[in-house]
Amino acid sequence: MRPRTFVTLLAATACVSAALTGCGSSSSDSGGATTTLTVAEWTNPGAIEFTQDLNAKFEKAHPGVKVKLQQAPNNNGAWQQLWNSLLQSKSVDVLALSAPTQAGFAPSYTSLKPAGAAALIDAGQMTDLSAQPFMKNYDATAQAAAAGRNGKVYGVMAAQYAAAGSIWYKKDLLDKYHMGVPTTFQEFLDDCETLKKAGKTPIFVAAKDNMQGGVWQGSVNQTLMQGRPASDSVKVSSERADAFWKGTQSWTDQVYKDAAGRYEKVMKYIEPNAAGVAQLTAPGVWAAKSDDYPFLLDGSWDGALIQKANPTLNLGFFTMPGTDTPAANRLMLKPDLTWMVPTTAKHKDLAMEWLTMFSDPENYKEWLTKTGSISTQPALKNTGLPWMDWQNAHMDDAFQQLSNPWVPAGAPVDAGGPDFSKMTPIGGDSADTILSRSASAYRKSVGN
């Protein structure tokens, strides 16, 4: 789940420094508690609120147990520093990490070592949860793809969001100009042109943090998955990664050039000062300006923040159509917050009971409402949040967002794909230059 916090870097650093002594703890002393269960997750308003409520419910059901919530913002390295410290001190029982996905485990012929959650799993630091009864509430295939390894599953992927090419929109503004949700790329461009002629700035985006890259990424994903069933997404990702590694595909292939051409067309309609807009503040700024900026390029995780910034906003959401073939323009899902239990957890049985309570459909339904997450429990449809109408109508053919090709540690940023901070109009380099640079950087990084 993507983070949001309005603290400064100084405050974030202070929180991390104090974390080991209780910064972010959500529970009050339950009086005479003899056991402390520690839960850690990064700062996200809706998720933190839910976890605080669940912790209170857990304490009530478990007399003598206190649940301590550790948190830090997921920017400037604060969250990574906290969870590393908690693991090293063996002082966390339930830990939220980003889903490693199968992309985190490159095949042996690459000689690449896993990183992040994938490295922890391979090092035997996370507990296999596959036989836990609460796992039956979740889709087994999706959970294995998110946190599986060698037939075991090491986490509960609790949150997934629409990310690549995702767009928030102001329904009243589109209604004013007699527009519906576009179904093709050309329709989207035509809408932007109409809005521009009406004196509106069509698109707001946090280009300071490269959120504009979702336009390119979404178009690439939809093109590569065209005509393929949703269940093929892991296979398509693996096939592409293998081809990149062996040199039979490259960032200069036509599919990436075509996506770059579409990206350039969209970028003609962005806020002129987008290069200075940060993702931290973009949702609130966009929401407050109800009579302009019809579209916001941002992931679906920001619904709670947008609604809090402007509760009266008639909010909508869709995935930008990245092609001119309506059937190809599908919703893409990105695995996100995944609960894991370290093998060093001091209270492993209580951790399993906490996850059981979290996974209870009534509790999980509340999690969906507070976080805006797309459900990972097949028996539970997405919540009735008004802005989720488009998502709910497009779940049947949604697919897991494709992962990027494997890149060796220490490789230049360009090797993993285009650097949109350097591509026009944010930067000064053309799309062809950027793609050629990425292709060259990738070849050098893998030695071919």
DSSP 22-85: TTT--PPP-SS--EEEEEEEE--HHHHHHHHHHHHHHHHHSTTEEEEEEEE-SSTTHHHHHHHH
**125 and 38 share one domain:** yes
Q: Find the CATH number of the domain harbouring 266.
A: 3.40.190.10
Judgement on whether residues 325 and 244 belong to the same structural domain of the protein: yes
Alpha-carbon distance 216 to 110, whole Å?
A: 27
Q: What is the pLDDT of residues 129-179, one digit of tens each?
A: 999 999 999 999 899 999 999 999 999 999 999 999 999 999 999 999 999
Question: So what's the pLDDT on residue 7?
Answer: 34
Contact status, residue 318 vs residue 390, Cβ threshold 8 Å: yes
43-to-1, 5, 73, 171 alpha-carbon distances in Å: 9, 7, 5, 29
> What is the three-class DSSP state of 366?
helix
Q: Are residues 170 and 315 in the same domain?
A: yes
Question: Are 184 and 156 members of one domain?
Answer: no
The answer as to whether 388 is a domain residue is no
Q: With respect to residue 2, please indicate whether it lies within any of the assigned structural domains.
A: no
Per-residue pLDDT tens over the stretch 334-364: 999 999 999 999 999 999 999 999 999 999 9
Indicate whether 215 and 128 sit together in one domain: no
228: which DSSP letter?
Answer: S
Say yes or no: 156 and 240 in one domain: no
Confirm whether 320 is domain-assigned: yes
* pLDDT at residue 1, rounded to an integer: 53
- Tell me: do 168 and 140 sit in the same domain: no
pTM, to two decimals: 0.85
Q: Give domain status of residue 390, yes or no.
A: no
Low-confidence spans in the chain with pLDDT less than 50: 2-31
Is 392 a member of any domain?
no
Residue 284 belongs to some domain of the structure: yes
The answer to whether residues 44 and 137 belong to one domain is yes
Same-domain pairing of 155 and 176: no
pLDDT at 382: 75
Do 57 and 134 sit in the same domain of this protein?
yes
**Could you give phi then psi for residue 201, rounded to 5 degrees?**
-95, 110
258 belongs to a structural domain: yes
Q: What is the pLDDT of residue 32?
A: 56
CA distance 3 to 5: 7
Asked if 39 and 354 touch (Cβ cutoff 8 Å), the reply is yes
17 and 111 share one domain: yes
The domain total for the chain is: 2
Do 265 and 302 share a structural domain? Answer: yes
Q: Is residue 214 within a helix (H) or strand (E), and if so which, with residue range?
A: helix 213-224
Asked if residue 109 belongs to a domain, the reply is: yes
Range of the domain at 27: 9-160+334-381
pLDDT value of position 240 = 97
3-class secondary structure for 298-348? CCHHHHHHHHHHCCCCCEEEEECCCCCCHHHCCCEEEECEEEECECCCCCH
Residue recorded with tokens 């983070």: 3
The predicted pLDDT at position 13 comes to 38
